[in-house]
């Protein structure tokens, strides 16, 4: 998978060709940071499985935007599963757990036993808990006991642009270091990290996966790889909240070897999923 | 490069880029730009910034841009950085860098809000020189810097100079507000740069302003080219509108000064 090949497959096949290139084959990208459902403040583009495939994304770990504010999490998860089933195997449901809701363990059981989910996606800042609370460790252990992987969404959007009535600070990720040291086999990924989080709160979290959706700066990915292991960095688009082309073009902007490209876009996600 | 679109980047900086010298940094930016199909960069502000730079400071920053341009004049345009808290010195710098130098635009950042009349001599002289005028703006849900303009502030300025085109930097960041704020002030143009690549930005800008009032920019090195290009490549607009945003609008604004200076681009 090289840069020219990537440009051709990810964008020329989509609605918005970037460069007129003509290489034939197609990569099979895995997006670890996709979502479905309504965003409360804006109508988002309707990106279905075809739209993802046109961009070369053949698999997308998919959470629900409804999960942020809806209390009936069981219904949110059921709707998410229905959408993912209709995607023909492209979307892989990442269920929601909200540990401040009564009977959250039943939601976890349903995610695993009834829906067959492999991933739980958490929103600690929207659900009102910190990672250093015993409640979080208890929930983390319960998820791990089911053999599931965990995604923690560090932030959804720039604080400067949030709706004034719903201002939500990013998750304080510092407690993760000790939590992961005590759970060396845990498969945990943080979504929407930025360079500051990577160089401060997440420093030394060697077993942790992250995604590239909010990694910014010119040549952002090649710079990140100077301080973060390649096997722990994944393609994540944060679509449909973000234009998916953002993360796809980051792969083009940075000087990545074919091995790095393959790791980021597919191999690492599979390791996270345990497949 | 066999590019489908011709792309000029309105909004580039020398900070946040590897390199010990301005020319090294611009060279590095151009290497990244080449990878994503960008032909020309508009560069302003130096390797180190301050929010309210004294004259010595903004002259140093402009010297750094001049130095970078001297090595890469075929790929970059320079905008002079000024401070409305120092009008006489800023006017002198406008003469040095634009009237008598190679720069083609003027950048105003966060030293002083742009709604007051103190800024008028800078706008008037820049307009005489046909320089492209760029004013940073944000509508922050958190809090703006004390001297940081909003698009509403810029509208007040633009009303005093209705014939002078002015670029609304970042379109206020919170673009759903910024686009509405500048919509009826036809001499204001929307810069897409320097905010997250939230889906819908470009579509709303085109719907409310028309592509002929929208300009692609990145705000690199703090931002990637990729995330900002995605706002145009990923938007549900026509290819003709994409081309207008990537190049046409900025070219129209810049053409008078390029012609006056005899610059072929």
DSSP class of residue A254 equals S
Cβ atoms of residues B62 and B46 within 8 Å? yes
Whether B32 is covered by a domain: the verdict is no
B64-95: pLDDT as tens digits: 999 999 999 999 999 999 999 999 999 999 99
Out of A11, A18, A217, whose CB is closest to B224? A217
Total count of domains within chain B: 1
A75-78, long-range: CB within 8 Å, 24+ apart, which pairs?
A76/A37, A77/A107, A77/A110, A77/A111, A77/A115, A77/A117, A78/A115
What DSSP string describes A118-137? -EEEE-HHHHT--TTSHHHH
Spans of all domains in chain A: 3-13+27-38+56-156+171-273
pLDDT score for A23: 35
Q: Indicate the average pLDDT of chain B.
A: 97
Cβ neighbours of B5 in A, within 8 Å: 18
Shortest Cα–Cα distance, A241 to chain B (Å): 6
Q: How far is CA B1 from the centre of its chain?
A: 25
B150-171: pLDDT as tens digits: 999 999 999 999 999 999 999 9
Cβ neighbours of B37 in A, within 8 Å: 18-19
B178-212: pLDDT as tens digits: 999 999 999 999 999 999 999 999 999 999 999 99
pLDDT score for A15: 39
Q: What share of chain B is helix, strand, coil (3-state, %, to 5)?
A: 45, 15, 40
Interchain contact B143–A (C-beta under 8 A): no
pLDDT score for A144: 97
| Angle value at C-alpha A143, between A137 and A144, nearest 5 degrees | 90
pLDDT score for A21: 31
Whether B199 is covered by a domain: the verdict is yes
% of chain B exceeding 90 in pLDDT: 99
% of chain A exceeding 70 in pLDDT: 90
Task: Report helix, strand or coil for A173.
Answer: coil
**A246/B234 touch (CB, cutoff 8 Å), yes or no:** yes
Residue ranges of the alpha helices (H) in chain B?
A: 22-35, 55-72, 87-94, 120-128, 151-160, 175-182, 201-209, 225-233, 239-243, 249-261
pLDDT score for A17: 41
Shortest Cα–Cα distance, A134 to chain B (Å): 31
Whether B102 is covered by a domain: the verdict is yes
**B233/A45 touch (CB, cutoff 8 Å), yes or no:** no
**A160/B223 touch (CB, cutoff 8 Å), yes or no:** no
Average pLDDT over residues B95-113: 98
Regions of chain A short of the pLDDT cut 50: 1-2, 5-6, 8-26
Q: Which domain holds residue B185?
A: 79-261
pLDDT score for A56: 96
Instruction: Kindly identify which residue of chain B lies nearest to residue A242, measuring between CA atoms.
Output: B198
Cα separations in angstroms, B236 against A93, A94, A237, B18 = 27, 28, 17, 34
Whether B47 is covered by a domain: the verdict is no
Average pLDDT over residues B89-111: 98
pLDDT score for B3: 77
Whether B171 is covered by a domain: the verdict is yes
ipTM value, please give it: 0.96
What confidence category does residue B258 fall into, taking pLDDT thresholds of 50, 70 and 90?
A: very high
Whether B3 is covered by a domain: the verdict is no
Architecture of the domain spanning A3-13+27-38+56-156+171-273:
Alpha-Beta Barrel (3.20)
Whether B84 is covered by a domain: the verdict is yes
Out of A3, A157, A217, whose CB is closest to B223? A217
Cα separations in angstroms, B253 against A97, A189, B3, B80, B120 = 52, 46, 23, 16, 20
Whether B147 is covered by a domain: the verdict is yes
A80-116: pLDDT as tens digits: 999 999 999 999 999 999 999 999 999 999 999 999 9
Residue B155's CATH number: 3.20.20.140
pLDDT score for A20: 33
pLDDT score for A2: 47
Cα separations in angstroms, A124 against A68, A84, A138, A209, A257 = 9, 24, 14, 17, 35
pLDDT score for A3: 52
What confidence category does residue B20 fall into, taking pLDDT thresholds of 50, 70 and 90?
A: very high
User: Which two structure tokens, joined as six digits, stand for A181?
Assistant: 């040291």
């Amino acid at each position: 998978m090289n840069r020219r090949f990537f440009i051709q497959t990810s964008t020329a096949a989509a609605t918005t060709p970037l460069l007129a290139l003509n290489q034939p084959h197609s990569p099979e990208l895995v997006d670890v940071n996709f979502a479905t459902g309504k965003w409360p403040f804006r109508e988002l583009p309707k990106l279905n499985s075809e739209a993802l495939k046109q961009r070369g994304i053949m698999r997308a770990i998919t959470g629900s935007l409804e999960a942020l504010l809806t209390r009936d999490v069981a219904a949110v998860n059921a709707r998410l599963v229905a959408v993912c089933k209709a995607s023909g195997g492209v979307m892989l449901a990442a269920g929601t757990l909200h540990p401040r809701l009564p009977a959250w363990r039943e939601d976890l059981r349903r995610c695993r036993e009834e829906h067959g989910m492999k991933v739980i996606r958490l929103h600690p800042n929207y659900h009102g808990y910190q990672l250093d609370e015993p409640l979080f460790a208890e929930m983390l252990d319960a998820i791990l006991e089911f053999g599931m992987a965990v995604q923690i969404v560090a932030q959804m959007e720039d604080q400067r642009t949030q709706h004034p009535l719903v201002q939500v600070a990013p998750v304080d990720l510092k407690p993760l270091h000790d939590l992961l040291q005590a759970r060396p086999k845990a498969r945990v990924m943080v979504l929407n990290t930025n360079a500051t989080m990577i160089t401060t709160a997440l420093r030394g979290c060697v077993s942790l996966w992250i995604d590239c959706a909010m990694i910014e700066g010119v040549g952002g990915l090649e710079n990140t790889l100077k301080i973060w292991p390649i096997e722990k960095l994944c393609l994540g688009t944060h679509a449909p909240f973000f234009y998916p082309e953002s993360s796809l073009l980051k792969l083009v902007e940075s000087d990545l070897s074919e091995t790095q490209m393959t790791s980021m876009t597919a191999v690492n996600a599979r390791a996270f999923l345990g497949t | 490069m066999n590019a489908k679109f011709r792309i000029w980047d309105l909004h580039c900086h020398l900070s946040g880029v590897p390199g010990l010298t301005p020319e090294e940094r611009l060279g590095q930016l151009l290497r990244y730009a080449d990878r994503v199909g960008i032909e020309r960069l508009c560069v302003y502000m130096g390797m180190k910034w301050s929010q309210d730079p004294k004259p010595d400071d903004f002259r140093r920053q402009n010297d750094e841009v001049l130095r970078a341009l001297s090595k890469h004049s075929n790929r970059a345009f320079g905008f002079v950085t000024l401070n409305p808290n120092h009008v006489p010195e800023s006017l002198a710098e406008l003469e040095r860098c634009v009237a008598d130098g190679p720069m083609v635009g003027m950048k105003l950042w966060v030293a002083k809000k742009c709604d007051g009349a103190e800024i008028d001599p800078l706008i008037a002289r820049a307009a005489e020189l046909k320089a492209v005028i760029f004013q940073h703006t944000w509508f922050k849900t958190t809090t703006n810097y004390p001297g940081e303009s909003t698009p509403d502030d810029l509208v007040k300025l633009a009303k005093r100079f209705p014939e002078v085109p002015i670029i609304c930097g970042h379109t206020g960041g919170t673009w759903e507000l910024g686009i509405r704020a500048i919509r009826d002030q036809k001499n204001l143009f929307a810069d897409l740069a320097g905010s997250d690549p939230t889906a819908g930005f470009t579509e709303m800008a085109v719907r409310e302003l028309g592509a002929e009032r929208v300009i692609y920019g990145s705000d690199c090195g703090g931002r990637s080219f990729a995330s900002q290009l995605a706002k145009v490549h990923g938007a549900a607009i026509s290819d003709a509108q994409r081309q207008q945003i990537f190049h046409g609008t900025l070219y129209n604004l810049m053409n008078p000064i390029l012609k006056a200076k005899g610059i072929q681009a």
